């Protein structure tokens, strides 16, 4: 697990923070530590990629409160909750709100690394979707009002002569607009133009906080930490 993304650890227990920092350093993963949810919010930049490892019970602002705040901020940061034995109902509620996973104390460090690796993959996919949407928005915004009208009609399957009659323009003018539309949207065929139209409609319907179905296999190998094998002699966080 070597990533240019950041794992943000928010836990009021100093021992847990230091243990997770040491664990993540053994696999080359950058992390930042925060004692409270408020400290994290004070420095949080919504444009940064990574994942959030978050204690569910903390003073002043709980993990669930922080999750709700991030939802309001339209954050796409995947959240993994650390829970105690009696916190399972709260963890289930967090999952319903969009958390990607939760892990119960005490936990084995390789189980947490699995979840972090999966959450970072989710973050990377979300970042790519955002870039794709931005590129699509830029292409669509380059269309003039008339080009947009022609684009919608062509993508819906209307013939040029029908479009021309409905818009009160010549069929040749429709062909010119159609050519401009295909050039601006990087579409060389009608099928590609239809695909762009479908994608533009899906963007508005996509929920940026939907829970993800995480099924990937771990992508890191065993390493050693001060004489401990991370798989056979795990550190345990109580």
Residues 160 and 174: beta-carbon distance below 8 Å: yes
Torsion, Cα of 103, 109, 115, 116 (10° steps): 120
Structural domains in the chain, CATH included, are: 6-129+213-237 (3.40.50.2300), 133-205 (1.10.10.10)
50 vs 60: CA distance, rounded Å:
25
pLDDT in tens, 5-40: 899 999 999 999 999 999 999 999 999 999 999 999
Q: Is the full-model pTM beyond 0.75? A: no
Q: Can you list the pairs that 206-211 forms with residues at least 24 positions away whose Cβ atoms lie under 8 Å?
A: 206/129, 208/74, 208/76, 208/126, 209/71, 209/76, 209/97, 209/98, 210/98, 211/95, 211/96, 211/98, 211/99, 211/100
pLDDT beyond 50 at 221: no
């Amino acid at each position: 697990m070597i990533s240019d993304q950041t794992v943000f650890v928010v836990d009021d227990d100093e021992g847990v923070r230091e243990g997770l920092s040491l664990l993540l350093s053994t696999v080359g993963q950058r992390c930042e530590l925060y004692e409270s949810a408020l400290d994290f919010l004070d420095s949080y930049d919504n444009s940064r990629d990574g994942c959030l490892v978050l204690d569910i019970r903390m003073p002043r602002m709980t993990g669930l409160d922080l999750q709700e705040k991030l939802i309001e901020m339209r954050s796409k940061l995947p959240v993994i909750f650390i829970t105690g034995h009696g916190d399972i109902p709260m963890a289930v509620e967090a999952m319903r709100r969009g958390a990607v996973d939760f892990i119960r104390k005490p936990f084995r460090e390789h189980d947490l690394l699995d979840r972090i690796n999966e959450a970072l993959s989710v973050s990377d996919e979300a970042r790519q979707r955002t870039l794709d949407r931005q590129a699509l928005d830029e292409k669509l915004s380059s269309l003039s009002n008339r080009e947009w009208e022609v684009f919608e009609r062509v993508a819906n399957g209307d013939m040029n002569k029908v479009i021309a009659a409905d818009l009160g323009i010549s069929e040749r003018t429709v062909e010119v607009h159609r050519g401009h539309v295909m050039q601006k949207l990087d579409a060389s065929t009608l099928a590609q133009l239809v695909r762009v139209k479908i994608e533009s409609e899906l963007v508005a319907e996509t929920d940026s906080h939907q829970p993800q179905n995480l099924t990937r296999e771990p992508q890191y190998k065993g390493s050693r930490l001060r004489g401990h094998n991370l798989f056979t002699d795990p550190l345990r966080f109580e």
